[in-house]
Structure 1
């Protein structure tokens, strides 16, 4: 078994790539690569957000919404669902309440 196959893919991320019949809509290797990208970004944004929250003129919610707006821009290279997932993951890492995000069908948990 290769190392990449040992990466745990959370259901919350896999669900971004499931159709109505719960089948994956992309090859698992592609999903794994997108997950690694999104998780790495959430980890990097955590460090950035912790530094900015002290100096930000807005609230934690404002900061998360600004990050989401940047990720949701088509030029950022993330799908709308991935942008929502990254921000939800970031809020989880920070221990902040996740605001309602544009394009999110499920309520923030």
Structure 2
């Protein structure tokens, strides 16, 4: 990916890669864009699974999102703890659900 990429990375995602007092992300643009695409794709892919959990297991929206978060911060996850929180917040946005306070994962 080059600097001319058309991908618009939301400020909420860029903030995951900002060191305190800095305005430039701590990773190169192509890496940031790749991480964003992974996280966005993950959130999009989880939409139907989350709905199925809600209706199939008879649990609340908050519990669905909390379980998704716990799964994303578990061992072997492809996302970091801050990215996992972003993914679940994005998932809540896609579902038009209120996002609960998420537990802190390893490294967050």
Partner of 1:80: 81
Aligned positions of 1:4-43 closer than 5 A: 5-20=5-20, 21-43=22-44
Partner of 1:67: 68
Q: CA deviation at 1:50?
A: 1.7
Identify, as 1 or 2, the structure richer in helix: 1
Following TM superposition, the consecutive aligned residue runs of length 4 or more in structure 1 with deviations greater than 2 angstroms are none
Q: CA deviation at 1:54?
A: 1.1
Whether the aligned pair in 1 keeps the contact of 2:62 and 2:100 (CA below 8 Å) is yes
Q: CA deviation at 1:101?
A: 0.7
Gaps of 5+ in 1: 105-109
Gaps of 5+ in 2: none
RMSD: 1.6
Q: CA deviation at 1:58?
A: 1.7
Distance 1:94 1:73, change over 3 A: same
Whether the aligned pair in 1 keeps the contact of 2:53 and 2:59 (CA below 8 Å) is no
